[in-house]
């Protein structure tokens, strides 16, 4: 009976998300933000070379703009360590978005309207999925990091099923296709066949930086540059790997259970 005593001692351990966001602590590496989007041009020399995946974008000297592509960022921290005057970690968990362009921060002035429009369209398309959602996970060339976070969703802390979401072994029963990995050539046909086997309406989530952009290894002769060139992607969840809360945020966004009138808490 040790589980009874443990339950009495610990109480309810299941998160209350999405009603509230559990704090990971100030040191959590949720995302990288730009502290000074328009620094003096003399401070931008060599910035792109700091990032192994090319996530640091420096526009022309006249524009003096520095941006981070979170869709390519693997959260290695090299930019933060080398240039703490320009970059810092943010303890964000709600980083999923329905627009690939919105992962480039700071956003363009018109990006909010574009994201809102896409989210409204997605919410209308998946209106019938809100009560019981079945998820098919497909590994399209992952390193296994995202799989560990996905597995955590089924445990008592995150308890995905309390939200009416369940994993299924067959795409013919699936509403959501959760894809990890870079989209390798060896998995391209399998990914397309899985997508085509799913009934409509259906949603595709690119889980992690590899699935969003190819990450550290793609594109190359064996690794793809993300899955968007193989199947239409509705939601991007950046991170290497994304946290379970980020995955929950992406799933809720995918099935229209987040408000579309404004930006999310991220």
**Does some domain include residue 216?**
yes
Share of the chain above pLDDT 90, in %: 56
**Does some domain include residue 18?**
no
pLDDT at residue 266 above 60? no
Q: Which of 43, 60, 90 is the last residue of a domain?
A: 90
Q: Give the model's confidence band at 14: pLDDT under 50 very low, under 70 low, under 90 confident, else very high.
A: confident
Regarding predicted confidence, which is higher, 83 or 7? Answer: 83
Q: For residue 33, give the 3-state DSSP assignment.
A: strand
pLDDT of residue 109: 67
**Does some domain include residue 6?**
no
Residues 237, 145 share a domain:
yes
Counting every residue written for the chain, the total comes to 266
**Does some domain include residue 102?**
no
Q: Give the model's confidence band at 118: pLDDT under 50 very low, under 70 low, under 90 confident, else very high.
A: confident
Residues 115, 74 share a domain:
no
Regarding predicted confidence, which is higher, 130 or 129? Answer: 129
Average pLDDT, the chain: 86
**Does some domain include residue 266?**
no
- Report pTM: 0.89
Expressed as residue numbers, the domain containing 121 is 111-254
Q: Give the model's confidence band at 7: pLDDT under 50 very low, under 70 low, under 90 confident, else very high.
A: low
Residue 134 vs residues 23, 109, 168, 248: alpha-carbon distances, Å? 28, 36, 6, 14
DSSP annotation of 152 reads: H
Sequence-distant (≥ 6) Cβ neighbours of residue 252 within 8 angstroms: 18, 163, 258
**Which residues are 176's β-sheet partners?**
135, 203
Residues 165, 235 share a domain:
yes
Residues 64, 165 share a domain:
no
Residue 119, CA atoms < 13 Å, CB-side half-sphere: 25
d(CA 182, CA 74): 13
Residue 42 token pair: 């003399």
Domain count within the chain = 2
pLDDT of residue 249: 93
Task: Dump the DSSP string for 212-251.
Answer: HH-TTT-SSSSS-S-STTTS--SEEE-SSSPPHHHHHHHH
The CA R_g of the chain, rounded to the nearest whole Å, is 19
pLDDT at residue 219 above 90? no
Regarding predicted confidence, which is higher, 36 or 149? Answer: 149
**Does some domain include residue 99?**
no
d(CA 18, CA 251): 11
**Does some domain include residue 156?**
yes
Q: Are strands 203-207 and 235-237 parallel, antiparallel or unpaired?
A: parallel
pLDDT of residue 131: 73
**Does some domain include residue 265?**
no
């Amino acid at each position: 009976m040790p589980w009874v005593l443990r339950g009495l001692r610990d109480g309810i351990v299941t998160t209350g998300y999405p009603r509230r966001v559990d704090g990971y602590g100030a040191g959590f590496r949720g995302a990288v933000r730009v502290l000074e989007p328009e620094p003096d041009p003399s401070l931008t020399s060599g910035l792109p070379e700091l990032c192994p995946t090319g996530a640091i974008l420096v526009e022309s000297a006249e524009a003096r703009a520095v941006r981070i592509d979170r869709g390519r960022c693997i959260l290695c921290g090299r930019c933060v360590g080398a240039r703490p005057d320009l970059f810092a970690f943010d303890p964000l968990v709600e980083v999923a978005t329905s627009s690939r362009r919105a992962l480039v921060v700071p956003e363009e002035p018109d990006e909010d309207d574009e994201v809102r429009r896409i989210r409204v369209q997605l919410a209308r398309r998946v209106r019938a999925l809100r009560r019981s959602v079945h998820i098919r996970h497909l590994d399209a060339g992952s390193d296994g990091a995202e799989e560990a976070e996905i597995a955590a969703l089924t445990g008592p802390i995150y308890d995905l099923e309390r939200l009416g979401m369940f994993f299924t072994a067959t795409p013919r029963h699936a509403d959501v296709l959760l894809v990890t990995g870079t989209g390798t050539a060896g998995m391209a046909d399998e990914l397309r066949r899985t997508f085509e086997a799913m009934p409509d309406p259906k949603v595709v989530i690119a889980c992690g930086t590899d699935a969003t952009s190819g990450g550290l290894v793609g594109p190359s002769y064996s690794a793809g540059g993300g899955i968007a060139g193989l199947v239409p992607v509705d939601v991007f969840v950046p991170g290497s790997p994304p946290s379970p809360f980020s995955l929950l945020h992406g799933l809720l966004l995918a099935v229209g259970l987040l408000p579309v009138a404004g930006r999310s808490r991220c």
